[in-house]
Amino acid sequence: MYQHKLESDIRCPLEYGLQIFGGKWKSRIICVLAEMGTLRYSTLRDEMSNITDAVLASTLKELLKDDLVDRIQYNEIPPHVEYKLTEKGRSVVPILRSICKWSGIFYNEDNEHTLKQCQKCNYR
């Protein structure tokens, strides 16, 4: 995982929130897990178009560290790991839906791929 050279300088709660669930992939992962519930890693990866394994694994680690996602590991062969939203993670979903709704008003909605991904948030 990338190590920042400078210490985090969060000056308001909004910056904290954007650090926790902002970025390209975190909000998408949260929306997919909110829509589909508990998912295995491979199913989650299939739902997330155009994400590499390295980026998905790194993003999931960050979401785990921030207590937005739970990782459930079953001790069996082959290994079986599932991911689901925590209570804290579920509390973010209405915020993300509001952002999607607001953005839908101003965003040029001719990008079908983006809309398909955003429909996981049920913003309409």
H, E, C per residue of 43-95: HHHHHCCCCCHHHHHHHHHHHHHCCCEEEEEECCCCCEEEEEECHHHHHHHHH
Q: Phi/psi zone of residue 81: left (φ > 0), alpha (ψ -120 to 50 degrees), beta?
A: beta
Report whether 93 contacts 30 (CB < 8 A).
Answer: yes
Give the pLDDT confidence score for residue 124 in this predicted structure. 42
Listed residue (73, 95, 99, 100) closest to 84, CA to CA: 73
Per residue in 96-119, pLDDT (tens digit) is: 988 888 887 777 655 555 555 555
φ, ψ for residue 81, nearest 5 deg: -125, 135
Give the pLDDT confidence score for residue 82 in this predicted structure. 95
Q: What's the pTM value of the predicted model, to 2 decimals? A: 0.78
Q: How far apart are the first and last CA of the chain?
A: 35
Give the pLDDT confidence score for residue 7 in this predicted structure. 64
Per DSSP, the three-state class of 110 is: coil
CATH of domain 13-121: 1.10.10.10
Domain ranges of the chain: 13-121
Give Cα separations from 58 to 69, 87, 119 (angstroms).
13, 21, 24
Per residue in 50-81, pLDDT (tens digit) is: 899 999 999 999 999 999 999 999 988 888 89
Q: What is the mean pLDDT of residues 31-42?
A: 94
